[in-house]
Every structure is written in structure tokens, then in C-alpha cells.
Structure 1
Amino acid sequence: MTTLNQITTPKSIAIVGASDNKNRIGGRPLSHMIEQNFEGTVYPVNPNRDKVQGLKSYPNLQDIPGDLDFVLIAVPAKFVVNVIEDAVKKNARTALIFSSGFSEIGGEGEVYQKKIREICDQSNLRVIGPNCLGLFNSQSRFYPTFTSTIDRATPIPGDISIASQSGAYGSHIYMVSHQRGLGIRYWITTGNEADLSVGEAIQLLAEDDNVHTIMAYVESVKNGKQFINALETARQEKKPVILMKVGRSDVGAAAANSHTASLAGEDAIYEEVVRAHGAYRVRSTEEMLDVAYATKPKIYPTGKNLGIVTISGGGGVLMADAASDVGLKVGAMPEGAQKELKEIVPFASPMNPVDVTAQFFNDLSIVPKFIDLMLSQGGYDGIIGFWTSVAGSPKMSQPLLNALKQAMSNYSEKIFINSMVASEDIVKHYEKEGFLSIEDPTRAVVSMAALMYFGEKFNEKIEKIEIQPPLKINIPKRNLNEIECVEILEKFDINLNKGKLIKNVQEIKNIYKDIEDGYVMKVVSKDIQHKTEIGGISINIKSLIEAETKYDEILQNVKTKSPKALIDGVMISPMIKGGVEAILGAKVDPVFGPVVMFGLGGIYTEVLKDISFAEAPLNKKLAKKMISRLKSAKMFEGARGLKLNLDHLLDNIVKLSEFIYIYKDFVKEVEMNPLVIKEDMVIGLDALIIPNLEGEKNA
């Protein structure tokens, strides 16, 4: 089993392609190792030189005496496979490949990368890369990387680590982390991931006792199960994973694909996977650094009630707004506590935000009194203090710190973040005493929200899903028409508006009966998935004559707009009126496997895009949480007197999740749009199943 120690703490390293020029790719890691006093043995490999940077050079790996732990490769792509084979012969545990020209360029490069993968599968060698910038372990001073950031900023060992698919951006994250004063112990870039993936890197970091926080940069995931296991390991170890997943836009996704030669995938599904397994997704490097910095005390509140103490009423309002934006509660102080605050400072605002006013300057003793009341009676899970530039005053800085230390002396389990403008020396002094400082108040609120998110996720009970014994349903390996789709889903007790198939106009007379809401008629064809666009559907049919006319119109429209489609007939069904139209679907994601989708449907699906995803299978509790993440969630919960059958809706979501989970090898997608939700029923008006025609096993 691979360990982080095996990869990052070798006793020996050979650098194949080592250069005497310290600025070249093959020279930088050797220079780093020499200058940083790496304690292991370093073997430069360069057949053209007797010595490289003062060390004896070897023509090839086989000439190096004994076995090797680590082989670093910086030679053209066409030579890499041979070097990898030699590394196996030297019993190397790890090989790291700087070289580019593999799957990211296609063609011959893909062949090379496939061969590397085959060697890994047939040996004990682990490969990092190709096309990667390397890694480092600042504690052991091991620097197999050509990043220039080491020249400017020697890493300071800490308990935060970085895993990144991108080498250059991984370097950027390291550099700004260093500038922020964050100690980085491990830094791993994975490149094309012929073997070791960013998911496994996260896993290894989560398993290491020296790591307490993980920052990760992800462009794409190849092995969804491995990635999920990594996030779950970190959650079980109560180690925050702060994740930047790029490729949210179409342009970004295309760039990610070309960069890592892997599918970027559907961003909404990534969002759900990250959320479901306890990682925190950030949108900017600044947010990533703020959250990583905020994890330093290792305090993760389990609630979301935020207390705000401020010397500025305006600053308090701004932070309250920011708290609302990120889903935090800014609960009012109890009336009794408000009265006590008023007795201390009659003109203070005691609600929450609690404004200590300018009296702060006259009497700093009010600070511990106010904070003590907020923590002892307010029920706040964390507090932010807004002191603006006052805390940076040489005259006020230490007295304020003393007051804060007194205030928090009995609340070591609570998190307190200061928002203040002060010199680096003052900020470091506050940090040394255990007080975080984030200059911008909105960023302080966002960071607090992240800590509360981790507190919730670390204590979240993992739901056990029990699946009923699967029904034996035959799903043909061909395109299906709607009637076939309805028949399949009905076997799972999913309620659908089943109609009758008409194959000629004369059959309508034998079926048609006057009903109040009339009928809907639509073409039935395995070749037509979307009927509206080609005029293949007609609604509100109220008479036999109209039904006969619409039958002919539908067939004519289809023949005109989709002449190659094979028509099985026309289905006639009762119109279902009223209720809320939703969309309920499921698909087998190529990375993460079966997922369920629910949201506003009908004409609103594409316009509002109010959709929520969840991994299948679900139970009712998870299905309800899925609905709660919608912007329109209150509608489904009965807002403004709207009466909807939530229990039946949850049943349908659960059943469809079981269907896609059980038949994930036979079905690619399934969808009911619209799904009508009323007080007395939940019913799908349209059904679509797209079978898996390739016959390959899905994720």
C-alpha cells in the first residue's frame, strides 16, 4: 500500500536528465536539494558529464550502485518508457516525470502514457505525472520540482498541504500561501495522472498525521470512486479539504479538457459530490487562503449562529448582510442579555450585531463584558469582532488584545475572528496569542461560514441506504418509445400518465369519451425524444372531431420535420391540469456514476435552471435535503398555502434513484418532464429512457 512517507521521504533519488545549469528544468531540483541540504543520497544521471553541480554523474540508472527509492525523469518523452523500465529494475518505489508530450497531445504521446500505465500495473512502481511540476516535502527538505518559487520562498514546514493537478497554478497557490504566512508541509502536483491522481494525493494527505488542512486544485477527475473515498477519509479524520474545481464555464471546461486530457464533467455534479462528501468548494485563491488560514485553531463550530461585535454600526450591517448571503443566522441577543448590555452602555445597540459604540475608546473593559454576555447567553457558535484600524493603533493594540484574551479565557472551544487593519507585526502578535485576523469583514464572514460548514459536515451522520431486492426488468438495448418507457418505470411504482396507443384514426372512436379536462395526444416513436419541437404533440383536445383532426396533423408534422423517424402510432392520454410542474431525472455520470436530478420543470427548466443533483440511491431524508437546496424549495414545502403532496414526491425521487442505481449498466439517462405535483397526486406526463447501447459497464 502506498504511503505519503514512501513518496515524499525517500533515502535516495536519481535525477535522470540532471543539468549542470541550475536554471534548467533538469538542474533546478538538483540545485534545490543541494542548497536545502536534503539528507538523502542524490544521484545525477547524465551520460555527457562526469560531474553535475559538483556531484558524481552516472551514464544511466543501471550504473548506480544498489537499489533506488525515487527516480526523477527530465528527458524527452520518447526516452521516458525506457527510463521507467530501468527504474523498475532498480526496485524504485516512485518515479516522477517532468516530461511533457504524452496524452495531452494525443497520438504517439497517448501510446507512451498507456505504456507507462501498463508498467505500473505490472510492478510496484508508482508514477507521478507525466507533464507535472513535481512535489516537495518541506520537513525532509526533499524538492524534486523545477518550480521557481523555491528560489524566492523556502517552504516553512506547517500542517497545511497542497494537492494540485496543475503545476503552475499549484506553484501559485504555494507562493501566495507562503506570503500569507501559511506553513506548507507537502506540495504535490499530478499532471496527466498516468498513475497517481489528485484524488489519491488527497487521500494520502488525509491519512498523514502531520497534515490537518488540505488545499486542492482540480481540473478533472478520472476515478470518481477514488476521489469520493479521499474526501470521505478526510471528513472522517476531521481534516478540511478546501477545493478549487475549475471548468464551471463552457470555455473553462474545454480548457480543462485540453490541459489534462480528461473529461471535465458536468460542473453541477461535481458541486454535489464535493458538498455531499464534506469538502468546501472555493471560487477564488483568496477565499482558499482565507479558509485555510481560518482552520489554524482547528475549531469547527457545529452550529451557524454568528455573533458580531463591532465599533461601527455600518460595519455590523455589512457583516450581517454577508452572513445572510452565506446562509448564517445572526440571531438576536435574548431580551435579558440586551438589558444587561444596556446597563453597561446605555446608548449601545445590543441586538446583534452588538455595537459597543465609541465608548470603546473610553473603557476597553466593556469588550470582555459584552463578549462574555454574547457567549454565555447569546448561544453564538462563533464571533467576529470588527475593530477596523483601531486595533492597528500602537496605543490601542495591546489593550484591546488584553481585553480579548480576558473575554475568551473561559471559551477556548469557541472561534473568534478579528476584522482589523493593522501592521504585519501586530497581526502576528495577535496570531501568536491565538486570535485570527482577516482584514476585510466580508471575507471574515465567509471564512467563519466555511468553519461552520466543516463543523456540520464533520458531525454529519452518514445515511445508510437500503435497496429493495431488484426487480427483473428487461431493458432492451435499443431506442425506446414513450409507451415502452412508461411500462418500465411503472414496474418501479413510479406514477405516469399512461395512455392508449392509436395506430389509425378509426381507433379513436372506440377510445374517446368526453372528460372535463380533455385529452393530450402525442406521437410515439423511438426515434423522437423531444416532441414539441416538431409539432408531435397537441393538448386540450375537447371533442372526438378535434381528436381525429389532431391525429392527422401530428402525423403530417412528424413526416415533414422528421421524415426518417419510424412512427409507432399516436398516444392519447387524459390532460392533467393544475399543480406545479417539475423535472425529475437521473443519469449515469461517466465519472461519478448514477445521480438524480430534480427541479422546476416544464417551460422553466432551461430558463431558470433551478436544479439540484444527488448521488443515487437516496432515501426520503436525502431526497428532502435535495429539494431544500433549490431556490424554489419553499414552493415544494407548501409556501403561501400551496398544497402539494411532498410525501408522494419524495417516494418518486427515491424510486427513480433506485432504478438508475440498479440498472446503471443498462441505462444512460431517464427523465420525466414535466412531473406534475398536486395535492392529491404526483404524476409524470412524459417519460424518456435512454438505454446504454454500448454494453460497457458504467461508473
Structure 2
Amino acid sequence: MPQNPVPAQANRASTATALSGPLLHPASVAIVGASDDPRKTTGRPQRFLAAAGFGGTAWFVNPSRETVQGEKAYPSLSALPGVPDHVYVMTGAEAAIDTVAEASRLGVPVVTVLSSGFAEEGAEGQAREDRLRAAAAQGATRVVGPSSLGVVNPRSGVMLTGNAAFGEPDTPAGGIFVASQSGSVIGALVSRARGRGIGFAGLVSTGGEADLSLGEICSATLDDPDITSYALFLESLRHSADLAEFAAAAHRAGKPVAVYKLGRSDEARALTVSHTGALAGEDSEAEAFFRACGFARVSTFEGLCEAPALLERVPADGPSRPRVGVVTTTGGGAAIMVDQLALRDLSVRGPSHELVDRMTEAGAPVPHSLIADLGLAGAKHDVVSAALREMQDSGEFDLVLFVIGSSARLNPELAVQALAERGGHAVPVVGFALPEAPEAAELLASSGVPAFRTPESCADAVAAAFGRRSALIDPKGLLGSFEGATQLLDEQTSAELLDVVGVPTLPSVALKVTSMDEEISLPFDYPVVVKALSDQLAHKTDAGGVVLDVASADGLRAAVRAVVSDVADKTGITVDRVLVQPMADKGVGEVLVGYRRSQDVGPLVVLSTGGVQAELYDDSAVRLAPVDHATAAEMIEEVTGLAVLKGHRGAPAGDTDALTDTIVALSRLAVERPSVIEAEANPVRVRTDGVVALDALVRCVKEADRA
């Protein structure tokens, strides 16, 4: 038989060129561990392949049987009459490793592994996963999984999955490619899409990503012309550099990406010493990463399969606060929709008086209101068509949303048909039917009009679509993960480092505690602030290490004694030096500007209100670093508490241009000082003319551990 063996040290083929065909369009497949019982998980793929009409060659491997479900069974991959393009392994962990090794020797391009018992089971499982990876690396075989619930392509009948949801006939085909780190999700999305005109170009459960990452899998499919958009379900941001590579390529290809991520936790807080680390928790990091990737993040599971149709109609970099026009035949349904849009800070606009007059002349009269309410009598094809035409042509809206009443279910040929005919306009229209109306949804989807099942998912998708920006991600910027011990720098050294990158800091002088009996000469006038100076003390105020408004040399000596005593009592740390700075003027407001290098997504810059309680308020902006001035200005606008900098009721405005410069400067640590793990200027006092950092904190990799 032709085996085409691959040398052990063969160069690994590039994912993009070698994976696309065998992953989704294999001419031949093999199921290893196939069961004779079609009711079992291991028996389902054979049944699913037959039911879906897979047109290629399917082989079944079971060394303990001569047949499975009436088909010939082979004892091993080597015994097959040919080399399959794609192998699905449904055995135990040890047998799976042996199968991957055999596949690698034979030259199988792709192996998907259902088997569990790998890294999720601790050290012993991790050792098995290492062996699995090594087995594949003997040749050019790439592995999906382990713990993968499979790969599905409804277009060609590929059903390499044990997921029971695919037991129903006619999995809907379409343009969405789904990649999920949760196996059950691929079936759940298909079940929700059935009968609603939403279809899929492929669905992959990525499993443990021991070899192929989710990002690599998606990248391999970008050249498939039938794939028009992507829906990603993420549990973590592992292999974020691969995901970033995909994001950049998807942007170039013009294929939008919707993402739903679990894990809105704050566990990352425990890994940091700064307020910045508390603010840039796991979910804030993910949000910044998705923004830089140009992904549209949805917060509803329903929205994950519904949003791609809208993303294909709304380009990136559209208005962040779109003018949404709502036209309806049911006032109550429209009010529900307006509520959901408002909760997401979306602007609902009523038609102008001039537009209302034109709509009346066109035979679609509506009252002067926030919504264009046609009333129950308006549920007619010509009336709805005229209303939509006038609203789309008016130039007053970026999106028109039609909330459909009972006619959506009973007479979709009326109002729904009129909506379906308006899908080609430059101003997109979307539909939400108040009753459950799958027939209406299918009609709209087939006409290119996005349709939504719930007001929550509709508003979610609209917000995600208009919030999407072009991909700005630099995959190389994510590769600077750090290892080894880290060290906290004292405030003086920290301030000197920040000053070098362009963050304005106060003048200061370090004094030894033992020199307090000598004459004290300062290079600036009283009053001053006295601070404990130690590389063991991250938060001086909490430890009693700060005394303000010291007015004289005698007062300075008393302040030093108080600092030494209080810090020793509260922390056990011996302070042998203090930092003295002039008291700064009050200014307009205080902010925190921070920097943090995340192990998952790379360098981040953070902006929030400043002071010791910065992390108590969920009011911050986080972006991948470095940032430009436009992004820094966007961050200032995003933090609600910084509205005071604009001036309020006659109060002076702060110098936001200088603050923008400071944010950009600190973010440059990402390229100029890669050894810095955390840096924080907090508070930064914003004046009417300029800004100044009153305190500084830097943590970096120890010199001996730097690469």
C-alpha cells in the first residue's frame, strides 16, 4: 500500500498551506476507535458521516472487530488501503499517543484527538501531552486537541464529531466559521441556528491545543472563499500571539470576527503589587486585546451566532455612537428595544420633523417621537417599504432597526418581506421580531438582513459591531513574556526611570536617616513631603510611610522619626533613607497612569482616576501598549471620573494634552524597557498647564534573570 513515510526530522509544513484542505475538505478520513454501537459517542461519527452524505472515503479502525456498523474494520492505520487526509482518534490517552505516532510516520496531515487524560490531569497528564506532541513532531502531522469534540464541515458532509447535537439531519451550511475552546458549544450554536437562516462553513472544537492553537486553525481557513466571518468561543487567551496573527490576517482579508469569552474574573489581582495590576485584571486585559485585534466582542451567547451577519454589513471604524433609527408596528416591543440600546450607551434618534413629513407624504405616517411607530395598521408591505426607504435615504441614521409585531409570525409576507427587500442599502437594516418567529428570521437571513431573536442579543450585536475598530495588533509585541525573579525599585529609582521615558516627575532628594542630626539643606523650599524610601515598600501610605506639609527643618526631623517608627510598627521593615519632595500645588485633578506586562496578552497601559483608592472604582481604560496620541485621548474620554478635567461649572480645565503625552510616554516602556514588568505613576496631578507625577513605582526583572 502507498504509505508516503515522512522522515523523522522532516520540516513541519506551514499551517496555512498544508492544513486547510485536510482539516475541512478531506478526501479521505479514518475513525480510530470506531464502535459498532451507533448510540455510543465512539459510534456516532460513522453514523453522522453517512447521514450527512460525506462524499469522500471513510475508513474505520477497531483492532478487536472485523466490522463496525456493517463496514469493514481495520486493525490499524497502517493496515488501511491508503493514507487518510484526516484521522479522528476516539481511544484512551495512551492509545491516542501511539496512533498519532503512527499517523506521523505515515504522513497523515491532520489528526483530531477526542481522548482526554492529558494536561488537565496534572503532572502525569502533562507528561502524556508532551509525548503526544513529540509523536506528532516526528513528521508533519498536526494535531487538533486533545479533548476535541471534533471538526465539522456541513458543506461537504464532514462530521468528525461525537457531539450528539449533530445527530439531527441537515446541519445548516453558510458562511460562519466557528472555533471553540469548549467542545459542547459547537453543537449548541448549531442547535440555536437551526431554522433561522444562519449557517456554518465549519466548526472546530480546539480542545487542549497541545499542538494546533485556535488562532492557527482559524488562520488556515482564511483563504476559503466560502468563509465570510468568524465566531470564536474562548475560555482563555492561551496562544495569544497565534490569535493576534489570525486577527491581523482576518483584517487584511476583510473577514470580521465575533468573540465571546468566559472568565470575567479578578484572579490576576493576586499577581501584582500595584494598583495598575488590580485595574488590569483578566477581563480588562481580554477587552484591550480584542480591541487591538479588531474583534467584535459580544456579551450574549445568542449574539455569537447572530452578530456575524451584522458585522459583514457594518465596516470597522464606523461611528462609535451610531445614530440608530427605530421603526416599528408595536410600540411596546420598540420600547423594550430602546431600553436595551440605551443600556449599551447607544443613541436612538427619532426622525426629524422634515423626515416625518416626507414619510407621511410617502404613505407611512408616524407621530413625532423617538421611534417611528407605524402602529398595527402599518403592518403592510407598502407602508413598511415606504417607511424604511425614507429613513434609509434621509441621511439621519447609521442603522435602521425594525421591531416587528405579530405579523412576523402570522403574515411574514407583509412587513417582513418589505424589510427583506431593503437589505442592499448603504444604511443597513436589521430586524427583531417580538414574537418567536423563526420563519421570519429565515426569510430575513436569506435576504442578507440580520435578524435577532431577543432584544438583548440585538442591542449586544449592534454595540459590538459599531464598537469594532481596525486591527492594530502587533503579534511580535506579545512575545515578551517574562521568566525569573522580579524586583521592586525604590521610588527615587522608579521616578528616574519614568523621567527618562518622558513622564514628568517632582524634584526630590534622598536623605539618610542617620544624617538627621546634621544641618539639612534642600534644593527647594518648604513645605515638603517626607516619604519612606525602600525597595521593600510598594504602598507607603498604608504603612504610615508618608508625612505631608512639613514646614521646617525641625518638622522634617520629626517627620522622619515618625516615618521610621510607623513603618517598623506596621510592616517590620527598617527604613534607613527617606525621600523629600516639594509639596505640589492642588491642580485640577489626579489620575493614575500605569503599565503592566501581561503573561497572556503582552504590554498594557492603564488610565484611571488617581490616588490610593484607584482600584475601588470600576472606571478605567486599558489598551495594549504602546499607544498613540489618538488612542490616549480616547482613553481619557472613556474614564468617567476624568470628566472633571474638562472644567465644571466654571472651574478651570486640566491640561489633557500634557496628560495624553504622559500616557503615550509611559506606554513606550513596551519597546524601550522590555525588562519592566509593572510601572505606575500614581497620582499624576493634572494642572491647568502641564502634569506631574507625585509618586512612582516600577517592578522589573532582576538583572541576573534578564534574557
Sort the TM-score into its range (normalised by shorter chain).
Answer: 0.7 to 0.9
Counterpart of 1:667? 676
Q: In structure 1, which of residues 370, 373, 385 is the aligned counterpart of residue 390 of structure 2?
A: 373
1:307-334, CA deviations, whole angstroms, 9 ceiling, x for partnerless residues? 1223455554444443333333333434
1:392-420, CA deviations, whole angstroms, 9 ceiling, x for partnerless residues? 444xx5343565578x4983653242534
1:647-697, CA deviations, whole angstroms, 9 ceiling, x for partnerless residues? 111111111111233222x11111111111111231111111111138667
1:513-535, CA deviations, whole angstroms, 9 ceiling, x for partnerless residues? 9957x221111111111112221
Counterpart of 2:402? 385
Counterpart of 2:325? 307
Aligned positions of 1:623-638 closer than 5 A: 623-638=632-647
Q: 1:487, CA displacement in angstroms?
A: 1.6
Q: CA RMSD in A?
A: 3.3
Q: In structure 1, which of residues 26, 34, 48 is the aligned counterpart of residue 42 of structure 2?
A: 26
Name the SS for the 1:585 alignment partner.
Answer: strand
Q: In structure 2, which of residues 532, 537, 549 is the aligned counterpart of residue 540 of structure 1?
A: 549
Counterpart of 1:452? 466
Cα separation, partners in 2 of 1:419 and 1:55, compared to 1, 3 Å: closer
Cα separation, partners in 2 of 1:633 and 1:330, compared to 1, 3 Å: farther
Aligned positions of 1:7-18 closer than 5 A: 7-18=23-34
Q: In structure 2, which of residues 187, 192, 205 is the aligned counterpart of residue 176 of structure 1?
A: 192
Aligned positions of 1:322-401 closer than 5 A: 322-341=340-359, 348-357=366-375, 360=378, 365-394=382-411, 397-401=412-416
Counterpart of 1:530? 539
Q: Which TM-score applies when normalising by structure 1?
A: 0.87
User: Is 1:272 aligned to residue 288 of structure 2?
Assistant: yes
User: Is 1:651 aligned to residue 694 of structure 2?
Assistant: no
Name the SS for the 2:112 alignment partner.
Answer: strand
8 Å contact kept, 1:392–1:420: no
Cα distance between partner residues in 2 of 1:464 and 1:189: 26
Counterpart of 1:576? 584
8 Å contact kept, 1:386–1:441: no
Larger mean Cα displacement after TM superposition, 481-490 or 307-316: 307-316
Q: 1:86, CA displacement in angstroms?
A: 0.9
Q: 1:157, CA displacement in angstroms?
A: 1.7
1:90-143, CA deviations, whole angstroms, 9 ceiling, x for partnerless residues? 111011111111101112210111122234445311001111111111122111
Larger mean Cα displacement after TM superposition, 685-694 or 309-318: 309-318
Q: 1:41, CA displacement in angstroms?
A: 2.3
Cα separation, partners in 2 of 1:333 and 1:178, compared to 1, 3 Å: closer
Cα distance between partner residues in 2 of 1:659 and 1:97: 42
Paired-residue identity, %:
26
5+ residue gaps, structure 2: 1-13, 271-279, 478-484
Q: 1:577, CA displacement in angstroms?
A: 3.7
Cα separation, partners in 2 of 1:162 and 1:480, compared to 1, 3 Å: same
Q: Which TM-score applies when normalising by structure 2?
A: 0.86
8 Å contact kept, 2:44–2:162: yes
Q: In structure 2, which of residues 67, 70, 83 is the aligned counterpart of residue 67 of structure 1?
A: 83
Name the SS for the 1:56 alignment partner.
Answer: strand
8 Å contact kept, 1:207–1:234: no
Q: 1:233, CA displacement in angstroms?
A: 2.3
8 Å contact kept, 1:301–1:414: no
Counterpart of 2:241? 225
Counterpart of 2:98? 82
Cα separation, partners in 2 of 1:577 and 1:137, compared to 1, 3 Å: same
Cα separation, partners in 2 of 1:272 and 1:300, compared to 1, 3 Å: closer
Name the SS for the 2:173 alignment partner.
Answer: coil
1:164-187, CA deviations, whole angstroms, 9 ceiling, x for partnerless residues? 011123322232223544222211
Counterpart of 1:690? 699
Counterpart of 1:510? 520
Counterpart of 1:417? 431
Aligned positions of 1:192-341 closer than 5 A: 192-250=208-266, 266-292=282-308, 294=310, 302-303=318-319, 304-341=322-359
8 Å contact kept, 1:586–1:669: yes
Counterpart of 2:64? 48
Cα distance between partner residues in 2 of 1:551 and 1:298: 62
Counterpart of 1:472? none
Cα distance between partner residues in 1 of 2:648 and 2:641: 10
Q: 1:568, CA displacement in angstroms?
A: 4.2
1:609-661, CA deviations, whole angstroms, 9 ceiling, x for partnerless residues? 31111111111112112222223353344454441111111111111111233
Cα distance between partner residues in 2 of 1:9 and 1:402: 36
Cα separation, partners in 2 of 1:6 and 1:527, compared to 1, 3 Å: same
8 Å contact kept, 2:150–2:204: yes
Partner letter of residue 529 of structure 1? A
- Report the count of equivalent residues: 669
Counterpart of 2:558? 549
Partner letter of residue 686 of structure 1? D
Cα distance between partner residues in 1 of 2:385 and 2:409: 19
8 Å contact kept, 1:16–1:44: yes
Q: In structure 1, which of residues 126, 129, 134 is the aligned counterpart of residue 145 of structure 2?
A: 129
Larger mean Cα displacement after TM superposition, 571-580 or 30-39: 30-39
8 Å contact kept, 2:326–2:350: no
Cα separation, partners in 2 of 1:62 and 1:166, compared to 1, 3 Å: same
Counterpart of 2:273? none
Name the SS for the 1:217 alignment partner.
Answer: strand
Partner letter of residue 559 of structure 1? A
